[in-house]
Chains A and B, each alone.
Chain A
Amino acid sequence: DTGVSQDPRHKITKRGQNVTFRCDPISEHNRLYWYRQTLGQGPEFLTYFQNEAQLEKSRLLSDRFSAERPKGSFSTLEIQRTEQGDSAMYLCASSLASEPRTSSKGELFFGEGSRLTVL
């Protein structure tokens, strides 16, 4: 078990381009979360999955953002038509919940993040 891994670690793109981030959670974890963090702020919740089902999405997740977890293992977060305001660290975390649609109530294990810079 190597923990939560994210790829790429850094991405520099021009405004208007699409970017995709990948997250591989801890293998036995059934919950996967995406957070966004800007400089000097705490992580802000974007969305989370229980297995392959996307159970909750923040209103921060505009139409340009889409997340998938097709087989209940790895997840991708795609940002279309990037804007300068999308520049941030995108953090993925995973946890183990015993039953669907109930709180895991436990700790989250975070990856090292994917830093996006939109020029």
Chain B
Amino acid sequence: SQQGEEDPQALSIQEGENATMNCSYKTSINNLQWYRQNSGRGLVHLILIRSNEREKHSGRLRVTLDTSKKSSSLLITASRAADTASYFCATVPNSGYSTLTFGKGTMLLVSP
């Protein structure tokens, strides 16, 4: 089963524009993570935000977390063609084992 739901499913922008992807989840979490996947490749961890954090930055990435709404957003600023990939949010539950549960992802296309 997939816990997170990303929105939009696909996003097409021009280089230099910002890209915003949203993620909603259902259960109480310990942390939420964002991963990137280039076509046909493995996933690469981008950023982790804990349940007691509201915002986190890493380079051109900005992640927010609203636990009251059970939602998160990933903002990529000044996008580049190389940012073209699928982006997944994944949640770690507050209890039990730490099986990371992924959403269906947002496919981002950045055109030069």
| A44 pairs with B99, CB closer than 8 A | no
> What is the bound-complex CA distance between A115 and B40, given in angstroms?
9
Give the shortest distance, in Å, between B41 (CB) and chain A (any CB). 6
Q: Which residues of B contact A33 (CB under 8 A)?
A: 99-100
Q: Which residues of B contact A85 (CB under 8 A)?
A: none
| B98 pairs with A103, CB closer than 8 A | yes
Q: Which residues of B contact A40 (CB under 8 A)?
A: 104
Contacting residue for B101 out of A45, A101, A103, A113, CB 8 A: A45
Q: Which residues of B contact A48 (CB under 8 A)?
A: 97, 99
Contacting residue for A112 out of B1, B30, B42, B102, CB 8 A: B42
Q: A42-B102, A42-B103, A107-B48 are in contact. Are A56 and B42 (CB under 8 A)?
A: no
**Known interface pairs A35-B102, A40-B104; 20 further A-B residue pairs with C-beta atoms within 8 A, sorted by A's residue number:** A33-B99, A42-B4, A42-B88, A42-B90, A42-B102, A42-B103, A42-B104, A42-B105, A45-B100, A55-B97, A91-B42, A101-B97, A103-B98, A105-B30, A105-B31, A107-B33, A108-B43, A111-B42, A112-B41, A113-B41
23 A/B residue pairs, CB under 8 Å, sorted by A: A33-B99, A33-B100, A41-B2, A41-B105, A42-B4, A42-B104, A45-B100, A55-B97, A56-B97, A91-B42, A93-B43, A97-B98, A102-B98, A103-B92, A105-B31, A105-B92, A105-B98, A107-B33, A107-B45, A108-B45, A110-B42, A110-B44, A113-B41
